[in-house]
Every structure is written in C-alpha cells, then in structure tokens.
Amino acid sequence: MELLRGALRTYAWGSRTTIAEFTGRPVPAAHPEAELWFGAHPADPAWLETEHGETSLLQAVTDDPEGQLGSVSRARFGDVLPFLVKVLAADEPLSLQAHPSAAQAVEGYLREEKLGIPVNSPVRNYRDTSHKPELLVALQTFEALAGFRQASRTTELLRALAVSDLDPFIELLSDQSDADGLRALFTTWITAPQPDIDVLVSAVIDGAIQYVSSGATEFVAEAKTVLELGERYPGDAGVLAALLLNRITLAPGEAIFLPAGNLHTYLRGFAVEVMANSDNVLRGGLTPKHVDVPELLRVLDFAPTAESQLRSPVRHEGLGLIYETPADEFAVAVLTIDGEHLGHEVDAPSSHEGPQILLCTEGSTTVHGKSGSLTLEHGMAAWVPADDGPIRLLAREPVKLFRATVGL
C-alpha cells in the first residue's frame, strides 16, 4: 500500500481555506480549491507516493491490473478502477446538472466520437462510456438541491411566492400527472427566450424578497436559495429550475445517493463524494461551463423524488458505518476507532478482496496490510491494492477513516 496524493482541481466555486486546512497546507490558498480527486480517471489521476518518487495510480493500475484490482473487479469492470473518490469544498453553487445512465453514456460517447469532438474539448458532454451514480457524504453541513419535488408541494411554494407571472406555470404543473407537469414546466423554462427568462427571474426574485421579509418560515430556505442563485447567475433559467428541486441540508455524516437522470446542484459545504469512474456531466445552467439543454432533457428523470428517497440508508457493522447504495462500482464505509478499541490492532470490517482507497478525516491511524504498513493522519489518503488486503488498523486516538471499495 502507498500514500495517495489527490489531484487538486481549482474551480471558481471552490474554497480558499477548506481543502488547504484539511490537508494541512497554508491558508488562504492561492486559488479557490474545489476538489481533490482520488482515483485513476485519465483526466486527473491521483499519485502514489512510492520510495522511488511519485507514480500515477492510473499507471500503476495499467501496469499490474491483477495485483492492483484483483480478479473480481477485473471480471466485472475490466482493467480500470471502477470508482472515484473526491473531496469537495463548495463556497458557491455548482452547475445545475445530471448524469447519464450506462446506456445513454455509451450512446452519447459514440455519437460525439463520430462527430469528431475531441474528448477533452470544453463542448464535449460524454468523456467516457460510464454512467456516474454518486454518493455524497457531508463532512460539514452541506446544502444541496436534488431531485424534483412532489408537484403539489411545488405548487404550494409557487403560490406562496405570490408572483402573478407564475400563474400560467402553476396551471401547467397542476393540469397533468406529476412527471408530465414537471417535464412540461422545466422544459418551458429552460428553453424560454432570454427576454422572457429575464422578466420571470426578476419577478420571482421580487417574490422571494417579499416572502423572506414577510417573516414567513415554511419556504424560507427555498426563497433564500432563489435569491442567492439569482445574485450569482442573474438571468439564468437555472434560478427558476431551482424552484422545482428538493432543498436538502445534510448534517455531518449524512449522505445522499444520486442515480442517473437526477437533476441536482450543490450549493455549499464540505463533503466526500464517491462515484463511478466517470466525468459525464450534462449541465443546464448556473455555470460558465458548457451547457447542453437538449442533451440534459434527454437524460433527465422527471418522476418526483422525496428527499427521504435520496438519503442513503446506513447500517452498522463492527467499526463501520456502511452507506447502502445500489451501485456495483463502489461501496462506502466510515470506519471509526475510539473507546476500548484504542491501542489495539483491529480488523477492518467485511474486508473486500478488491482495491481500497482510505481517507482519514479525523485523528490518525496505522494501517497494516500484507505487504507493510503506513500511518494516515487527518487529510491523508492511502491506496491499498487488491493483493495487499485485508487490512488491520491501530489507532491511539479517535479516528475516522472513509473507505471506498468495489461494490460487488
């Protein structure tokens, strides 16, 4: 096993303090730091810190797929690491986005290849052939918009804003089944001519200001989100789309799982995200990046989803808190060592025969594998190849360790 250095991604929505503090570097950082990628995605692989210097994890996997990935993962996913771990720090909202299903990703990738759009082009939608189910676990309070809300509840919100310009849209929503109404309304807004959007966004912002200053509480988080998005992205149809999505606040340790076709945007917070090894994002707004509305509309799932359906259930198993997801590409657990376990070497629960990525988010611990051991401190990560597990842990102070493995 080796220490794993994450690939740092700087985007405007990132934080100058959070990731730098987490990894023990000086703050404020020179640029807003948005993501640390721990994986073997060709776009930005993480780095193994070996005694001979740094090697990319992608190279290590390519050179020795059997030793690094093991036979179970290879049989199902081929010679690539099927998951990607990201530490994500958002000071500002991310783009309004969704991810394709496996079939849509293959179709879209081949279509764009045929069109001759270079895979690293900013206008490319499909950068690989994988779907991108994602699990987001909050490290600190995390705010998100995800999944279409029940239409009846959205109607209540739109009525509460008391904006007469919204009346025809309320009618559109209530005239048909939930999914049809949401499809009609979202499609109307996201494809409306800019002058119409400008008028409607500004009316909705006025309504939200009135609502917040009236002291009403029922939809105050939703109204404030509209104001925040309107300020960052004036004239963006994404401000209207935000009215249709569940407004979710995660406490540390809580998680949401986003399946294919789920429309979402992260507003702010600090989290660990684990996903299939893919960079396939279809954006609909709230971003200076490439937006492709027709392609987004092709992949969106308009069936309303309750917030409780998005929240990932958990179960305890030994030292582990296991996040239960339907994904085959990854499984995620948080291993906690404290109390009577301190000072004793303990087995990590349900050791998996595939590869593991470990990320220490609190305290420090020594990790023992077949080939040796290393010590992880707060903000550090390790790569445990398949042929190095199962692992045992020794901690002298309370520790929290995220572990991502293959989900099979």
- The answer to whether residues 266 and 65 touch, using CB atoms and an 8 Å cutoff, is no
264-257-69 Cα angle (round to 5):
120
Report how far apart, in Å, the C-alpha atoms of 261 and of each of 146, 163, 266, 282 are: 11, 30, 16, 10
β-strand pairing of 47-50 with 33-38: unpaired
Neighbours of 121 (CB within 10 A): 12
**Residue 265 tokens, joined:** 């945007």
Neighbouring C-alpha atoms within 13 Å toward the C-beta of 43 = 16
Could you give the CA distance from residue 355 to residue 352 in angstroms, rounded to a whole number?
8
Report how far apart, in Å, the C-alpha atoms of 65 and of each of 40, 68, 79, 80, 277 are: 12, 5, 6, 8, 16
Cα 12 from chain centre: 17
Catalytic residue among 159, 283, 298, 396: 283
**Residue 350 tokens, joined:** 């349900």
Report how far apart, in Å, the C-alpha atoms of 113 and of each of 89, 103, 105, 124 are: 32, 16, 12, 9
Q: Which amino acid is at 86?
A: K
β-strand pairing of 33-38 with 399-405: unpaired
Could you give the CA distance from residue 23 to residue 123 in angstroms, rounded to a whole number?
33
Report how far apart, in Å, the C-alpha atoms of 304 and of each of 166, 176, 401 are: 20, 13, 34
Neighbours of 185 (CB within 10 A): 25
Q: Which amino acid is at 161?
A: L
392 given a catalytic annotation: no
Could you give the CA distance from residue 145 to residue 226 in angstroms, rounded to a whole number?
11
Output the CA torsion 191→230→16→57 (10° steps).
Answer: -20
- The residues annotated with a catalytic role in the active site are 283
